[in-house]
Chain A
Amino acid sequence: MAVIEHHETIPGGGEVYLSEASPRDFFELLKPRVMSLVVFTAFAGLVVAPGTINPFIGAIAILCIAVGAGASGALNMWYDADIDAVMTRTAKRPIPSGRIRPEEALAFGLTLSAFSVAILGLAVNWLAAGLLAFTIFFYAVVYTMWLKRSTPQNIVIGGAAGAFPPMIGWACVTGGVSIESVVLFLITFLWTPAHFWALALFKMRDYDAVGVPMLPNVSGEATTKVQILIYAVLTAVIAVVPTFLGFASLGYGLFAAALGLGFVWYSVGVLRMPEGDRAMVPAKKLFAFSIVYLFAIFSGLMLDHLIASFGWVL
Protein backbone atom coordinates (compact mmCIF):
# COMPACT_ATOMS: atom_id res chain seq x y z
CA MET A 1 0.00 0.00 0.00
CA ALA A 2 1.35 3.40 -0.95
CA VAL A 3 1.12 5.53 2.12
CA ILE A 4 2.73 8.79 3.11
CA GLU A 5 3.40 8.82 6.83
CA HIS A 6 3.74 11.75 9.19
CA HIS A 7 6.44 10.74 11.62
CA GLU A 8 8.41 12.85 14.00
CA THR A 9 11.50 11.59 15.69
CA ILE A 10 12.18 12.12 19.39
CA PRO A 11 15.78 13.16 20.03
CA GLY A 12 16.30 10.01 22.12
CA GLY A 13 15.85 7.87 19.02
CA GLY A 14 12.22 6.77 19.48
CA GLU A 15 9.62 7.54 16.88
CA VAL A 16 6.15 8.87 17.50
CA TYR A 17 3.27 9.28 15.11
CA LEU A 18 1.40 12.54 15.41
CA SER A 19 -1.85 12.55 13.53
CA GLU A 20 -3.24 15.63 11.83
CA ALA A 21 -6.43 13.85 10.81
CA SER A 22 -9.55 15.89 11.40
CA PRO A 23 -13.05 14.47 12.06
CA ARG A 24 -13.84 15.45 8.46
CA ASP A 25 -11.13 13.04 7.21
CA PHE A 26 -12.69 10.20 9.20
CA PHE A 27 -16.12 11.14 7.87
CA GLU A 28 -14.68 10.97 4.35
CA LEU A 29 -13.63 7.36 5.06
CA LEU A 30 -17.34 6.52 5.31
CA LYS A 31 -17.89 7.34 1.60
CA PRO A 32 -20.75 9.78 2.33
CA ARG A 33 -22.05 9.78 -1.26
CA VAL A 34 -22.43 6.00 -1.32
CA MET A 35 -23.90 6.20 2.18
CA SER A 36 -26.60 8.60 0.98
CA LEU A 37 -27.79 6.01 -1.55
CA VAL A 38 -27.74 3.30 1.13
CA VAL A 39 -29.68 5.48 3.57
CA PHE A 40 -32.25 6.31 0.93
CA THR A 41 -32.87 2.72 -0.24
CA ALA A 42 -32.88 1.39 3.34
CA PHE A 43 -35.43 4.06 4.26
CA ALA A 44 -37.51 3.00 1.25
CA GLY A 45 -37.45 -0.62 2.49
CA LEU A 46 -38.54 0.59 5.91
CA VAL A 47 -41.42 2.67 4.51
CA VAL A 48 -42.69 0.15 1.97
CA ALA A 49 -42.65 -2.83 4.36
CA PRO A 50 -46.02 -3.88 5.77
CA GLY A 51 -46.46 -3.05 9.43
CA THR A 52 -45.23 -0.25 11.63
CA ILE A 53 -42.10 0.60 13.53
CA ASN A 54 -41.63 3.14 16.31
CA PRO A 55 -40.29 6.30 14.57
CA PHE A 56 -37.35 6.58 16.96
CA ILE A 57 -36.43 2.90 16.53
CA GLY A 58 -36.80 3.40 12.75
CA ALA A 59 -34.39 6.35 12.89
CA ILE A 60 -31.89 4.22 14.86
CA ALA A 61 -32.26 1.47 12.27
CA ILE A 62 -31.40 3.90 9.45
CA LEU A 63 -28.49 5.31 11.47
CA CYS A 64 -27.10 1.80 12.09
CA ILE A 65 -27.45 0.83 8.43
CA ALA A 66 -25.74 4.10 7.38
CA VAL A 67 -22.89 3.61 9.86
CA GLY A 68 -22.52 -0.06 8.84
CA ALA A 69 -22.32 0.96 5.18
CA GLY A 70 -19.81 3.66 6.09
CA ALA A 71 -17.75 1.14 8.05
CA SER A 72 -17.54 -1.14 5.03
CA GLY A 73 -16.44 1.93 3.00
CA ALA A 74 -13.64 2.58 5.52
CA LEU A 75 -12.53 -1.07 5.32
CA ASN A 76 -12.61 -0.81 1.52
CA MET A 77 -10.40 2.31 1.63
CA TRP A 78 -8.01 0.58 4.04
CA TYR A 79 -7.55 -2.39 1.71
CA ASP A 80 -7.56 -0.44 -1.56
CA ALA A 81 -5.21 2.38 -0.52
CA ASP A 82 -2.55 1.15 -2.95
CA ILE A 83 -4.75 1.37 -6.03
CA ASP A 84 -6.59 4.47 -4.77
CA ALA A 85 -3.26 6.30 -4.79
CA VAL A 86 -2.89 5.66 -8.54
CA MET A 87 -6.40 6.43 -9.80
CA THR A 88 -7.26 10.13 -10.38
CA ARG A 89 -10.79 9.63 -9.01
CA THR A 90 -9.51 8.30 -5.65
CA ALA A 91 -6.00 9.74 -5.19
CA LYS A 92 -7.22 12.45 -2.79
CA ARG A 93 -8.86 10.01 -0.38
CA PRO A 94 -7.65 10.27 3.24
CA ILE A 95 -5.26 7.28 3.20
CA PRO A 96 -3.43 7.79 -0.13
CA SER A 97 -3.09 11.51 0.61
CA GLY A 98 -1.49 10.67 3.97
CA ARG A 99 -4.09 12.29 6.25
CA ILE A 100 -5.05 8.99 7.87
CA ARG A 101 -2.88 5.91 8.38
CA PRO A 102 -4.14 2.51 7.16
CA GLU A 103 -4.24 1.01 10.66
CA GLU A 104 -6.37 3.94 11.86
CA ALA A 105 -8.83 3.33 9.02
CA LEU A 106 -8.90 -0.40 9.79
CA ALA A 107 -9.59 0.18 13.50
CA PHE A 108 -12.22 2.81 12.64
CA GLY A 109 -13.96 0.48 10.17
CA LEU A 110 -13.95 -2.53 12.50
CA THR A 111 -15.18 -0.49 15.49
CA LEU A 112 -18.04 1.06 13.55
CA SER A 113 -18.97 -2.34 12.07
CA ALA A 114 -19.21 -3.92 15.51
CA PHE A 115 -21.17 -1.02 17.01
CA SER A 116 -23.62 -0.66 14.12
CA VAL A 117 -24.45 -4.40 14.07
CA ALA A 118 -24.71 -4.70 17.86
CA ILE A 119 -26.93 -1.62 18.25
CA LEU A 120 -29.18 -2.67 15.36
CA GLY A 121 -29.56 -6.11 16.97
CA LEU A 122 -30.25 -4.73 20.45
CA ALA A 123 -32.57 -1.90 19.39
CA VAL A 124 -34.39 -3.44 16.40
CA ASN A 125 -33.96 -7.15 15.71
CA TRP A 126 -31.19 -9.67 15.17
CA LEU A 127 -32.23 -10.75 11.67
CA ALA A 128 -31.73 -7.17 10.43
CA ALA A 129 -28.43 -7.05 12.36
CA GLY A 130 -27.34 -10.34 10.79
CA LEU A 131 -28.14 -9.00 7.31
CA LEU A 132 -26.15 -5.83 8.06
CA ALA A 133 -23.18 -7.89 9.29
CA PHE A 134 -23.37 -10.03 6.15
CA THR A 135 -23.52 -6.88 3.97
CA ILE A 136 -20.39 -5.44 5.61
CA PHE A 137 -18.59 -8.78 5.24
CA PHE A 138 -19.71 -9.11 1.62
CA TYR A 139 -18.50 -5.63 0.65
CA ALA A 140 -15.24 -5.63 2.62
CA VAL A 141 -14.14 -9.24 2.13
CA VAL A 142 -16.00 -10.85 -0.80
CA TYR A 143 -15.99 -7.76 -3.07
CA THR A 144 -12.98 -5.67 -1.97
CA MET A 145 -10.49 -8.39 -1.03
CA TRP A 146 -11.51 -11.12 -3.43
CA LEU A 147 -13.65 -10.24 -6.46
CA LYS A 148 -12.51 -6.69 -7.26
CA ARG A 149 -9.00 -7.67 -8.35
CA SER A 150 -9.76 -11.13 -9.71
CA THR A 151 -12.77 -11.05 -12.06
CA PRO A 152 -14.42 -8.61 -14.49
CA GLN A 153 -17.72 -9.76 -12.97
CA ASN A 154 -16.58 -8.08 -9.72
CA ILE A 155 -19.31 -5.46 -9.59
CA VAL A 156 -22.05 -7.86 -10.74
CA ILE A 157 -21.59 -10.09 -7.69
CA GLY A 158 -20.20 -7.36 -5.44
CA GLY A 159 -23.23 -5.22 -6.28
CA ALA A 160 -25.19 -7.41 -3.88
CA ALA A 161 -23.60 -5.47 -1.01
CA GLY A 162 -25.19 -2.24 -2.22
CA ALA A 163 -28.51 -3.98 -2.85
CA PHE A 164 -29.04 -5.35 0.67
CA PRO A 165 -30.04 -2.08 2.46
CA PRO A 166 -33.74 -2.04 1.38
CA MET A 167 -33.92 -5.70 2.44
CA ILE A 168 -32.44 -4.75 5.83
CA GLY A 169 -34.95 -1.88 6.13
CA TRP A 170 -37.76 -4.33 5.35
CA ALA A 171 -36.42 -6.83 7.92
CA CYS A 172 -36.31 -4.05 10.55
CA VAL A 173 -40.10 -3.67 10.27
CA THR A 174 -41.24 -7.23 9.54
CA GLY A 175 -38.52 -9.26 11.24
CA GLY A 176 -38.30 -11.41 8.12
CA VAL A 177 -37.33 -11.73 4.48
CA SER A 178 -40.01 -12.13 1.82
CA ILE A 179 -40.40 -12.16 -1.97
CA GLU A 180 -41.20 -8.43 -1.89
CA SER A 181 -37.93 -7.60 -0.15
CA VAL A 182 -36.06 -9.85 -2.59
CA VAL A 183 -37.56 -7.78 -5.45
CA LEU A 184 -36.34 -4.57 -3.75
CA PHE A 185 -32.91 -6.21 -3.51
CA LEU A 186 -33.00 -7.22 -7.20
CA ILE A 187 -33.81 -3.68 -8.39
CA THR A 188 -30.48 -2.33 -7.05
CA PHE A 189 -28.61 -5.57 -7.78
CA LEU A 190 -29.53 -5.56 -11.49
CA TRP A 191 -29.10 -1.77 -11.76
CA THR A 192 -25.50 -1.81 -10.46
CA PRO A 193 -23.70 -3.32 -13.51
CA ALA A 194 -25.17 -0.82 -16.01
CA HIS A 195 -24.42 2.05 -13.59
CA PHE A 196 -20.84 0.99 -12.85
CA TRP A 197 -19.86 -0.13 -16.34
CA ALA A 198 -21.01 3.23 -17.72
CA LEU A 199 -18.52 4.79 -15.28
CA ALA A 200 -15.88 2.16 -16.10
CA LEU A 201 -16.17 2.98 -19.80
CA PHE A 202 -15.03 6.56 -19.37
CA LYS A 203 -12.64 5.74 -16.50
CA MET A 204 -11.24 2.66 -18.28
CA ARG A 205 -7.66 3.92 -18.36
CA ASP A 206 -7.69 4.46 -14.60
CA TYR A 207 -8.75 0.88 -13.90
CA ASP A 208 -6.28 -0.41 -16.50
CA ALA A 209 -3.43 1.47 -14.82
CA VAL A 210 -4.01 -0.28 -11.48
CA GLY A 211 -4.80 -3.71 -12.93
CA VAL A 212 -8.39 -3.90 -11.72
CA PRO A 213 -10.17 -6.20 -14.21
CA MET A 214 -13.20 -4.09 -15.10
CA LEU A 215 -15.24 -5.42 -18.01
CA PRO A 216 -14.25 -2.68 -20.55
CA ASN A 217 -10.52 -3.33 -20.19
CA VAL A 218 -10.88 -7.14 -20.09
CA SER A 219 -13.60 -7.96 -22.63
CA GLY A 220 -13.55 -4.70 -24.60
CA GLU A 221 -15.92 -1.81 -25.15
CA ALA A 222 -18.29 -3.71 -27.49
CA THR A 223 -19.01 -6.52 -24.98
CA THR A 224 -19.45 -3.99 -22.18
CA LYS A 225 -21.99 -1.97 -24.17
CA VAL A 226 -24.06 -5.12 -24.89
CA GLN A 227 -23.87 -6.19 -21.22
CA ILE A 228 -24.97 -2.69 -20.12
CA LEU A 229 -28.02 -2.93 -22.36
CA ILE A 230 -28.89 -6.44 -21.07
CA TYR A 231 -28.72 -5.30 -17.44
CA ALA A 232 -30.67 -2.11 -18.22
CA VAL A 233 -33.48 -4.22 -19.72
CA LEU A 234 -33.44 -6.60 -16.72
CA THR A 235 -33.57 -3.61 -14.33
CA ALA A 236 -36.46 -2.05 -16.23
CA VAL A 237 -38.38 -5.35 -16.03
CA ILE A 238 -37.75 -6.07 -12.33
CA ALA A 239 -38.68 -2.48 -11.40
CA VAL A 240 -42.30 -3.03 -12.53
CA VAL A 241 -42.62 -6.38 -10.72
CA PRO A 242 -43.85 -4.71 -7.46
CA THR A 243 -47.06 -3.85 -9.34
CA PHE A 244 -47.54 -7.48 -10.46
CA LEU A 245 -46.86 -8.74 -6.95
CA GLY A 246 -49.48 -6.34 -5.61
CA PHE A 247 -47.34 -4.25 -3.28
CA ALA A 248 -47.36 -1.26 -5.63
CA SER A 249 -50.15 0.30 -7.69
CA LEU A 250 -50.67 0.42 -11.44
CA GLY A 251 -49.68 4.10 -11.27
CA TYR A 252 -46.27 3.12 -9.90
CA GLY A 253 -45.99 0.40 -12.55
CA LEU A 254 -46.53 2.92 -15.37
CA PHE A 255 -44.07 5.34 -13.75
CA ALA A 256 -41.44 2.59 -13.40
CA ALA A 257 -42.03 1.42 -16.97
CA ALA A 258 -41.50 4.95 -18.32
CA LEU A 259 -38.29 5.32 -16.29
CA GLY A 260 -37.18 1.86 -17.46
CA LEU A 261 -37.68 2.90 -21.07
CA GLY A 262 -35.47 5.91 -20.36
CA PHE A 263 -32.80 3.67 -18.83
CA VAL A 264 -32.89 1.36 -21.86
CA TRP A 265 -32.89 4.38 -24.22
CA TYR A 266 -29.69 5.77 -22.67
CA SER A 267 -28.14 2.27 -22.79
CA VAL A 268 -28.93 2.04 -26.52
CA GLY A 269 -27.18 5.41 -26.86
CA VAL A 270 -24.09 3.84 -25.26
CA LEU A 271 -24.40 0.82 -27.59
CA ARG A 272 -24.37 3.15 -30.59
CA MET A 273 -21.35 5.07 -29.31
CA PRO A 274 -18.47 4.70 -31.79
CA GLU A 275 -15.61 2.41 -30.72
CA GLY A 276 -12.75 4.45 -29.27
CA ASP A 277 -14.92 7.55 -28.66
CA ARG A 278 -12.80 9.55 -26.21
CA ALA A 279 -15.47 12.00 -25.02
CA MET A 280 -17.91 9.13 -24.20
CA VAL A 281 -20.80 11.55 -23.75
CA PRO A 282 -23.51 8.82 -23.98
CA ALA A 283 -21.76 6.80 -21.23
CA LYS A 284 -21.59 9.90 -19.01
CA LYS A 285 -25.26 10.61 -19.69
CA LEU A 286 -26.21 7.01 -18.81
CA PHE A 287 -24.17 7.20 -15.60
CA ALA A 288 -25.94 10.42 -14.56
CA PHE A 289 -29.38 9.08 -15.53
CA SER A 290 -28.80 5.80 -13.68
CA ILE A 291 -28.45 7.71 -10.38
CA VAL A 292 -31.64 9.68 -11.04
CA TYR A 293 -33.36 6.43 -12.07
CA LEU A 294 -32.66 4.58 -8.83
CA PHE A 295 -33.66 7.53 -6.65
CA ALA A 296 -36.85 7.95 -8.70
CA ILE A 297 -37.80 4.26 -8.51
CA PHE A 298 -37.46 4.08 -4.73
CA SER A 299 -39.13 7.51 -4.33
CA GLY A 300 -41.98 6.21 -6.50
CA LEU A 301 -42.36 3.12 -4.34
CA MET A 302 -42.46 5.19 -1.15
CA LEU A 303 -44.88 7.74 -2.56
CA ASP A 304 -47.10 4.96 -3.86
CA HIS A 305 -47.12 3.31 -0.44
CA LEU A 306 -47.97 6.59 1.31
CA ILE A 307 -50.79 7.30 -1.15
CA ALA A 308 -52.16 3.78 -0.62
CA SER A 309 -51.93 4.12 3.15
CA PHE A 310 -54.06 7.28 2.96
CA GLY A 311 -56.66 5.29 1.09
CA TRP A 312 -56.18 6.89 -2.30
CA VAL A 313 -56.07 4.58 -5.30
CA LEU A 314 -54.16 5.27 -8.49
Chain B
Amino acid sequence: METVNLTDSQKKARRGRNIALGAVLLGLVVLFYVVTLVKFSSGMAG
Protein backbone atom coordinates (compact mmCIF):
# COMPACT_ATOMS: atom_id res chain seq x y z
CA MET B 1 0.00 0.00 0.00
CA GLU B 2 1.32 3.46 -0.90
CA THR B 3 1.57 5.84 1.97
CA VAL B 4 2.57 9.45 2.37
CA ASN B 5 5.25 10.18 4.90
CA LEU B 6 4.85 13.57 6.49
CA THR B 7 7.93 15.63 7.20
CA ASP B 8 8.51 16.96 10.71
CA SER B 9 7.38 20.46 9.73
CA GLN B 10 4.19 19.05 8.15
CA LYS B 11 3.46 17.04 11.30
CA LYS B 12 4.10 20.08 13.48
CA ALA B 13 1.83 22.25 11.32
CA ARG B 14 -0.95 19.64 11.35
CA ARG B 15 -0.71 19.26 15.12
CA GLY B 16 -0.92 23.06 15.51
CA ARG B 17 -4.00 23.23 13.28
CA ASN B 18 -5.66 20.36 15.15
CA ILE B 19 -5.08 22.02 18.52
CA ALA B 20 -6.41 25.36 17.20
CA LEU B 21 -9.51 23.67 15.75
CA GLY B 22 -10.09 21.80 19.01
CA ALA B 23 -9.83 25.06 20.96
CA VAL B 24 -12.32 26.75 18.61
CA LEU B 25 -14.81 23.87 18.97
CA LEU B 26 -14.46 23.91 22.76
CA GLY B 27 -14.95 27.67 22.71
CA LEU B 28 -18.16 27.25 20.68
CA VAL B 29 -19.49 24.70 23.17
CA VAL B 30 -18.84 27.09 26.07
CA LEU B 31 -20.29 30.01 24.07
CA PHE B 32 -23.57 28.23 23.27
CA TYR B 33 -23.84 26.96 26.85
CA VAL B 34 -23.45 30.42 28.38
CA VAL B 35 -25.71 32.07 25.77
CA THR B 36 -28.38 29.53 26.68
CA LEU B 37 -27.98 30.34 30.39
CA VAL B 38 -28.13 34.09 29.74
CA LYS B 39 -31.19 33.77 27.48
CA PHE B 40 -32.99 31.53 29.97
CA SER B 41 -32.21 33.79 32.93
CA SER B 42 -33.28 36.94 31.10
CA GLY B 43 -36.42 35.12 29.93
CA MET B 44 -37.30 34.19 33.51
CA ALA B 45 -36.58 37.71 34.73
CA GLY B 46 -38.89 39.14 32.07
A-B pairs with beta carbons under 8 Å apart, 15 shown:
A12-B2, A18-B6, A18-B10, A19-B13, A20-B9, A20-B13, A21-B13, A22-B12, A22-B13, A22-B17, A26-B17, A54-B42, A56-B34, A60-B35, A123-B35
Contact assessment for A56 and B38 in the assembled complex, using a CB-CB cutoff below 8 Å: yes
Verify if A254 is at the interface (C-beta below 8 Å from B): no
Q: Which residue of B lies closest to A20 (CB)?
A: B13
Q: B9 CB to closest chain A CB, in angstroms?
A: 5
Contact assessment for A19 and B35 in the assembled complex, using a CB-CB cutoff below 8 Å: no
B44: which A residues are within 8 A, CB to CB?
A: none
Distance of A55 Cα from B17 Cα, bound (Å): 30
Q: B10 touches which one: A20, A26, A122 (CB < 8 A)?
A: A20
Q: A8 touches which one: B4, B14, B20, B34 (CB < 8 A)?
A: B4
Distance of A89 Cα from B12 Cα, bound (Å): 28
Distance of A119 Cα from B13 Cα, bound (Å): 29
Binary contact track A108-126/B, C-beta < 8 Å → 1, others 0: 0000000000010011000
Q: Which residue of A lies closest to B3 (CB)?
A: A10
Binary contact track A1-41/B, C-beta < 8 Å → 1, others 0: 00000001011101010111111001000000000000000
A residues contacting B by CB (< 8 A) are 8, 10-12, 14, 16, 18-23, 26, 54, 56-57, 60, 119, 122-123
Given contacts A21-B17, A123-B35, 5 further A-B contacts (CB under 8 A): A19-B10, A26-B17, A57-B35, A60-B31, A119-B31
Interchain Cβ contacts within 8 Å, total number: 43
B residues contacting A by CB (< 8 A) are 2, 4, 6-7, 9-10, 12-14, 16-17, 19-20, 31, 34-35, 38, 42
Interface of B is mostly: helix
Contact assessment for A23 and B4 in the assembled complex, using a CB-CB cutoff below 8 Å: no
Q: Which residue of B lies closest to A10 (CB)?
A: B2
B35: which A residues are within 8 A, CB to CB?
A: 56-57, 60, 122-123
Distance of A16 Cα from B5 Cα, bound (Å): 11
Q: A222 CB to closest chain B CB, in angstroms?
A: 49
Q: Which residue of B lies closest to A12 (CB)?
A: B2
Distance of A20 Cα from B6 Cα, bound (Å): 10
Distance of A20 Cα from B10 Cα, bound (Å): 5
Distance of A26 Cα from B12 Cα, bound (Å): 15
Q: B45 CB to closest chain A CB, in angstroms?
A: 11
Contact assessment for A57 and B17 in the assembled complex, using a CB-CB cutoff below 8 Å: no
A119: which B residues are within 8 A, CB to CB?
A: 31
A18: which B residues are within 8 A, CB to CB?
A: 4, 6-7, 10
